[in-house]
Amino acid sequence: MSDPSSMHDFEDIDEVEGAETRREPTPTRVPGAPSVPNPAAIGNPKEDLASLDGLERHLYAHRYAEIGIDCYGPSIDPSRATADRGEAQAILKEEDQALLCSAGTGALLDRLASESSLLSPMQRAQVRVLHRDRDRLVGVPAQKQSALTRLLAESDQVWHKAKAENDWTSFEPYLNRIVVAMKEIASLRDPSRDPYDVWLDEFEPGTDRAFYDNFFAEVKGAVVPLYAEIRKRGWQPDRSVIEGHFDERRQWELAHDLMALEGLDPDVMFLTSTEHPYSDALTTNYAIIAAHVYPDDVVSNVYTMLHEGGHALYETGVNPAFNYTSLKGGTSMGMHEGQSRFFENYVGRDRAFAPRLLEVMARHFRGQLGRVTPNQFYLATNRAEGQPIRTEADELTYPLHILVRYEIEQALFSGEAKAADVPALWRKKYHDYLGVDVKDDTHGALQDSHWSDGLLGYFPTYALGGAFGAQLRHQMIVEGMDWDSVLGSGDLAPIREWLRDRVWQWGRAKDSGQIIQDACGEPFSARYYVEYLDEKFSDIYGLR
Amino acid sequence: MSDPSSMHDFEDIDEVEGAETRREPTPTRVPGAPSVPNPAAIGNPKEDLASLDGLERHLYAHRYAEIGIDCYGPSIDPSRATADRGEAQAILKEEDQALLCSAGTGALLDRLASESSLLSPMQRAQVRVLHRDRDRLVGVPAQKQSALTRLLAESDQVWHKAKAENDWTSFEPYLNRIVVAMKEIASLRDPSRDPYDVWLDEFEPGTDRAFYDNFFAEVKGAVVPLYAEIRKRGWQPDRSVIEGHFDERRQWELAHDLMALEGLDPDVMFLTSTEHPYSDALTTNYAIIAAHVYPDDVVSNVYTMLHEGGHALYETGVNPAFNYTSLKGGTSMGMHEGQSRFFENYVGRDRAFAPRLLEVMARHFRGQLGRVTPNQFYLATNRAEGQPIRTEADELTYPLHILVRYEIEQALFSGEAKAADVPALWRKKYHDYLGVDVKDDTHGALQDSHWSDGLLGYFPTYALGGAFGAQLRHQMIVEGMDWDSVLGSGDLAPIREWLRDRVWQWGRAKDSGQIIQDACGEPFSARYYVEYLDEKFSDIYGLR
């Protein structure tokens, strides 16, 4: 997903320096900053709206280029091209920042905010979102930001090598440098807040450590003892029924069928292969899913596709009128994960959906799966089982993987830990929460690309997304949706329509807290998530 | 290949309107134009050089984005994404044009040109090339240019469908509109010149109808009678020795071996598949080859790879110091084709190289090719044989395919013909020059994407490239290169080094005419081309 920003102009109005409004520090003038209107000028609402359109058009083109480079670059670029790609991205982002942070843009947004009664609801949302995007950047000199962009391009390469070679030491200095740079940028953005809070709020507007501490306390309080009980019980469903060799080409054909089952329009989809699955969208007419297939594990492919498909449904379900504006795309990382996990888990790992999913899979793998029963399939894909890899985690233990990362990130930001301490912390927490002994850093602290990508503060949204999804599902059922029969029919249209109406269509026009409030008639609560997990896994493991 | 242009800024210098220098009409101010320095200001050479760097940095980032979108977009984007891609490209190009055409950029370039003694040779070349790029755009309002960009995005889709359905009529109005738009833009660029001349000069600086009329007269005068004689002779080499079924996966493996044989560095290459092969490069560290394989025609794959590989050698052989400047990339379309055809024909279809090429191919296709002799292979891949498809043409008849297009483009521009007349003209010329009866427009005037891409004036460079290559080859031999033994050794390093030294390294710092003059010690002449064709094909067909 992408934070917009960029490049535009306000016809024929010359710039006047030193006439700033609002609290922000003077932005550093950088090469690339376009001309901006006189911040002291009296606004003409019609001209201001034209300027808003101009701003959005240019942000659109830059966003389109930047998302494309981000999506395709790392998976297809030749190895020697990394530095050039990083340089191009850094310059594009500098231009974005210079435009959004210019005094003229600030004054324009201030005037538009004060002309609120003349604006449509959509325009009001645009102004609100642009204002926030600007406030996040305005105190950060463009060179600081682009220095981080370049550091990350380099770190990404170092991390790839370090992971392949189980070599935490080579990555260590990069992680330390990334934390230093992220703390510095957070302090420039808002010196009054804790730096980690600034980054938590970046990925999930409205959240901070207090919010997540509460959330994780509730999750930990329920899941750690539940999983301990499961371990004590000692029994596991039979997984061998879904094991075997699965031809890769057929798996890709299956992937297309899964997109159809989920309800994705093939005319707006590009499916490609990659090491680390992801999805993104340039507009509602262009979503990308990058997935992988393993010949010895068809189930991994199936749930990756359902997961990434949920992201793509969200992105392509936004109001198309938002395409060329900053309201484009999902509102937050947590709400995005709420949609992807919805289709992966609440739909894809539900007992009622198992016959439909198995049916589609068996169409491609009759020999391996033709005799598996839906109940065997359901149990085999719902084993709660501690193991070291986050992306292979089951639904129950998944939030514990996130908890480990959340606690370590807090320690890195507070200074309680340095990068050198991470592997030991990692081992201890995996042992305590998941009962797992991590054998090496490749299967431990080096497994994820997030830190080398500068995404500290992002992991918690994965767990939060699970909780968003549970609350939305609960609400559908409260409103009378016959969950089992919808899933049992294999036609997910009622679910898609509900989510499109309450969540997807709004794009960034509502924050996640507002979306939950409006969709469910009450604020966010972790209750539905822990209740769901407790009920489902107690049932599977016969605990109560 | 790409015409650069774009987005930058000149620190803290406010804009003053209405103080333009030089002959150009006032550029329309468009949203997106960044602030520019005072065109009337007295220059400070040090600041001017910093501004030049700033300009180049921003042009670099835009070029990187635009080439990437151009390269990958049409081959991988989902069908519904076309309009959004066109919109993003149009906005990016508007920004480029606004920056390059601003009065401030003009004044900067004027000052730098007058401070010539303070500039390095590289900086002088940058100023010269930027000046020319600017002069080409400055009279064209950005909206006119972007209207064409949008028309072309739509035309491309219409053409794809029209070609598939043999439906010239649906494409007709688009071609008429494209010609109208290109004539209008040409007149805005330079009202004193014939519009077709303007476009010929766009793709090959220094050329016009007079130049090409001479060139094609010489080619036509030699090739049409030579090919008529071959037809009369009635004999053709046996092609069946290279026919058969060739597994597609192995053909892709062969493609990688061919890149190695040609001397391409895999660390800077991305090879992908497409319907219409092309290549491009983002920097010297990132070249793309998009090729295709046909299971029933391995030879098509082989020569496509050698051809596109020649383009990629040129792009990646430019002085790396030019990467982030406007001097990046090949100097003209003709010189580019000079390199691609060099490796496709002068190397790839040479008798001395046949054993080496066959050896690599037989490694993958022992069963089909293990018993073919180099001489059989040489003859089979050098049949001169009129057929309707340009991209499948042999070396001898190829320029006649181009001649047809050149003459039709002239007629469209002069008004002598409308799009509705093209199919009949096409049939007549194919009959007269090539002895071919074109069966339908899919295999006739709809076969190429160039017109729907707005590339009228481009085709002639394909034939010119063949002639550039012939002259360069002649010069290598004159200077003592033992052609047969270099090709026979399979190590093409001496050829690459010669071309790198005389052609590739210069990027856009020299025009093609200058490159030929400096490389060969005399101006361009078509003589070496027609002599080469005459000698080679007279020998193969035993004519003299």
- Reply yes or no on whether the pLDDT at B7 is more than 90: no
Domain count, chain B: 2
What is the residue-averaged pLDDT of chain A? 90
Residues A425 and A524 in one domain: yes
Q: Do the chains contact at A58 and B10, CB–CB below 8 Å?
A: no
- Reply yes or no on whether the pLDDT at B6 is more than 70: no
- Are A112 and A48 spatial neighbours (Cβ–Cβ below 8 Å)? yes
* Model confidence band, residue B438 (pLDDT cutoffs 50, 70, 90): very high
Distance, in Å, from the CA atom of A168 to the CA atom of A179, rounded to the nearest integer, reads 16
Distance, in Å, from the CA atom of B424 to the CA atom of B410, rounded to the nearest integer, reads 15
Q: Which residues on chain A are in Cβ contact (under 8 Å) with B95?
A: 7, 58, 61
Last residue within a domain, chosen from B105, B139, B173: B139
CA distances from B527 to B123, B332, B471, B520, B533 (A): 35, 21, 8, 13, 10
Residues A191 and A222 in one domain: yes
Residue of A nearest to B13 (CA): A15
Sheet holding B286-291, edge to edge: B269-273, B286-291, B278-283
Q: Answer left, alpha or beta for residue A206, where phi above 0 means left and psi between -120 and 50 means alpha.
A: left
H helices, E strands: number in chain A:
21, 3
Within chain B, what is the greatest distance between any pair of CA atoms?
75
Distance, in Å, from the CA atom of B91 to the CA atom of A57, rounded to the nearest integer, reads 7
Last residue within a domain, chosen from B91, B120, B139: B139
- Identify whether A3 is part of a domain: no
- Reply yes or no on whether the pLDDT at A253 is more than 80: yes
pLDDT tens digits, one per residue of A384-394: 999 999 988 99
* Model confidence band, residue B380 (pLDDT cutoffs 50, 70, 90): very high
Q: Which among A29, A91, A287 is the nearest to B61, CB-wise?
A: A91
Q: Do the chains contact at B60 and A270, CB–CB below 8 Å?
A: no
Given the residues A308, A344, A385, A395, select the one marked as catalytic: A308
- Are B349 and B393 spatial neighbours (Cβ–Cβ below 8 Å)? no
Q: Which among A64, A80, A285 is the nearest to B267, CB-wise?
A: A80
**pLDDT in the model for residue B98:** 87
- Are B362 and B302 spatial neighbours (Cβ–Cβ below 8 Å)? no
- CATH for B430: 1.10.1370.30
SS3 A132: helix
- Reply yes or no on whether the pLDDT at B68 is more than 50: yes
Q: Which among A17, A98, A286 is the nearest to B78, CB-wise?
A: A286
Domain that holds residue A102: 43-139
- Reply yes or no on whether the pLDDT at B17 is more than 80: no
pLDDT tens digits, one per residue of A1-25: 333 222 222 222 222 233 333 333 3
pLDDT tens digits, one per residue of B339-355: 999 999 999 999 999 99
Q: A147-151, A305-309, B473-477, B526-530 — which is least confidently predicted?
A: A147-151
The CA radius of gyration of chain B, in Å to the nearest whole number, is 24
pLDDT tens digits, one per residue of B210-254: 999 999 999 999 999 999 999 999 999 999 999 999 999 999 999
Most A CBs within 10 A among B9, B52, B76, hence the mutation to make, goes to B9
Percent of chain A whose pLDDT exceeds 70: 92
Which of the residues of B are catalytic? 308
Q: Do the chains contact at A282 and B91, CB–CB below 8 Å?
A: no
How close, in Å, is residue B299 to chain A by CA atoms?
27
Distance, in Å, from the CA atom of A406 to the CA atom of A426, rounded to the nearest integer, reads 11
How close, in Å, is residue A248 to chain B by CA atoms?
14
Query: Which residue in this structure is represented by tokens 């476009």?
Result: B199
- Tokens representing A498 are 């509900």
Most B CBs within 10 A among A62, A249, A324, hence the mutation to make, goes to A62
Residues A490 and A444 in one domain: yes
Distance, in Å, from the CA atom of A359 to the CA atom of A366, rounded to the nearest integer, reads 9
Residue A293 amino acid letter: V
Q: Are strands A269-273 and B286-291 parallel, antiparallel or unpaired?
A: unpaired
Q: Do the chains contact at B270 and A76, CB–CB below 8 Å?
A: yes
A505 CB burial (10 A radius; 0-12, 13-18, 19+): middle
Residue B319 amino acid letter: N
- Reply yes or no on whether the pLDDT at A523 is more than 90: yes
- pLDDT, average across residues B300-305: 94
Residue B98 amino acid letter: A
Q: Which of A211, A257, A106, A146 lies closest to A467 in space, CA to CA? A: A211
Q: What is the DSSP letter of A523?
A: -
Residues A470 and A501 in one domain: yes
pLDDT tens digits, one per residue of A413-442: 999 999 999 999 999 999 999 999 999 999
- Identify whether A391 is part of a domain: yes
Backbone angles phi, psi at A88, to 5 degrees: -65, -45
- Identify whether B90 is part of a domain: yes
Binding site feature residues of A? 307, 311, 337
Residues A393 and A532 in one domain: yes
Q: Which of B345, B271, B268, B362 lies closest to B314 in space, CA to CA? A: B268
- Tokens representing B160 are 């794809």
Q: Do the chains contact at A29 and B12, CB–CB below 8 Å?
A: yes
Residues B130 and B153 in one domain: no
Q: Answer left, alpha or beta for residue A489, where phi above 0 means left and psi between -120 and 50 means alpha.
A: alpha
- Reply yes or no on whether the pLDDT at B319 is more than 70: yes
Distance, in Å, from the CA atom of A274 to the CA atom of A289, rounded to the nearest integer, reads 9
pLDDT tens digits, one per residue of B122-142: 999 999 999 999 998 888 887
SS3 B283: strand
Distance, in Å, from the CA atom of B268 to the CA atom of B280, rounded to the nearest integer, reads 12
- Identify whether A16 is part of a domain: no
- Are B92 and B65 spatial neighbours (Cβ–Cβ below 8 Å)? yes
How close, in Å, is residue A283 to chain B by CA atoms?
7
* Model confidence band, residue A43 (pLDDT cutoffs 50, 70, 90): low
State the count of interchain CB pairs (< 8 A) between A and B.
186
Top pLDDT among B31 and A488 is at A488
Distance, in Å, from the CA atom of B242 to the CA atom of B96, rounded to the nearest integer, reads 49
Q: Which of A401, A368, A367, A398 lies closest to A383 in space, CA to CA? A: A398
Distance, in Å, from the CA atom of A349 to the CA atom of A342, rounded to the nearest integer, reads 10
Query: Which residue in this structure is represented by tokens 């953005």?
Result: A189
Q: Are strands B286-291 and B278-283 parallel, antiparallel or unpaired?
A: antiparallel
Q: Which among A31, A32, A283 is the nearest to B81, CB-wise?
A: A283
Residues in contact with B387: Cβ distance below 8 Å, sequence separation at least 6, in sequence order: B393, B434, B436
Q: What is the DSSP letter of B290?
A: E
Residues B120 and B193 in one domain: no
CA distances from B497 to A189, B286, B466 (A): 52, 20, 20
Question: CB neighbours (10 Å) of residue B79?
Answer: 13
Q: What is the DSSP letter of A29?
A: P
State the SS3 of B27-95.
CCCCCCCECCCCCCCCCCHHHHHHHHHHHHHHHHHHHHHHHHHHHHHHHHCCHHHHHHHHHHHHHHHHH
Give this prediction's pTM: 0.81
CA distances from A493 to A350, A499, B261 (A): 17, 10, 54
Distance, in Å, from the CA atom of B123 to the CA atom of B109, rounded to the nearest integer, reads 11
Q: Do the chains contact at B31 and A58, CB–CB below 8 Å?
A: yes
Distance, in Å, from the CA atom of B509 to the CA atom of A328, rounded to the nearest integer, reads 42
Residues B479 and B389 in one domain: yes
**pLDDT in the model for residue B43:** 67
Distance, in Å, from the CA atom of B127 to the CA atom of B9, rounded to the nearest integer, reads 16
SS3 A317: coil
Residue of B nearest to A286 (CA): B81
Residue of B nearest to A16 (CA): B14
**pLDDT in the model for residue B41:** 54
- Identify whether A188 is part of a domain: yes
Distance, in Å, from the CA atom of A56 to the CA atom of A37, rounded to the nearest integer, reads 16
Residue of A nearest to B15 (CA): A14
Q: What are the residues facing B281 on neighbouring strands?
A: B287
**pLDDT in the model for residue A8:** 25
Distance, in Å, from the CA atom of B281 to the CA atom of B67, rounded to the nearest integer, reads 8
* Model confidence band, residue B42 (pLDDT cutoffs 50, 70, 90): low
Residue of A nearest to B287 (CA): A78
- Tokens representing A428 are 């201890």
∠ CA(B456), CA(B457), CA(B460), 5° rounding? 125
**pLDDT in the model for residue A31:** 33
- Identify whether A410 is part of a domain: yes
Residues B391 and B519 in one domain: yes
Percent of chain B whose pLDDT exceeds 90: 81
Backbone angles phi, psi at B521, to 5 degrees: 70, 15
Q: What are the residues facing A286 on neighbouring strands?
A: A283
- Identify whether A241 is part of a domain: no
- Are A363 and A239 spatial neighbours (Cβ–Cβ below 8 Å)? no
pLDDT tens digits, one per residue of A51-83: 999 999 999 999 999 998 888 877 788 888 888
Alpha-helical regions (H) of B165-284: 168-189, 195-203, 209-233, 248-262
Top pLDDT among B144 and A505 is at A505
- pLDDT, average across residues B191-218: 96
Q: A322-336, A351-365, B274-288, B301-315 — which is least confidently predicted?
A: B274-288
- Identify whether B27 is part of a domain: no
Q: What is the DSSP letter of B24?
A: P
The CA radius of gyration of chain A, in Å to the nearest whole number, is 24
CA distances from A294 to A250, A310, B357 (A): 11, 21, 36
Question: CB neighbours (10 Å) of residue A9?
Answer: 25
- Reply yes or no on whether the pLDDT at A513 is more than 90: yes
- pLDDT, average across residues A218-235: 95
Top pLDDT among A8 and A539 is at A539
CA distances from A539 to A145, A234, A476 (A): 50, 15, 22
Residues A94 and A212 in one domain: no
Last residue within a domain, chosen from B102, B122, B139: B139
Residues B133 and B105 in one domain: yes
- pLDDT, average across residues A174-202: 96
- Reply yes or no on whether the pLDDT at A493 is more than 60: yes
Question: CB neighbours (10 Å) of residue B185?
Answer: 23
Residues B523 and B422 in one domain: yes
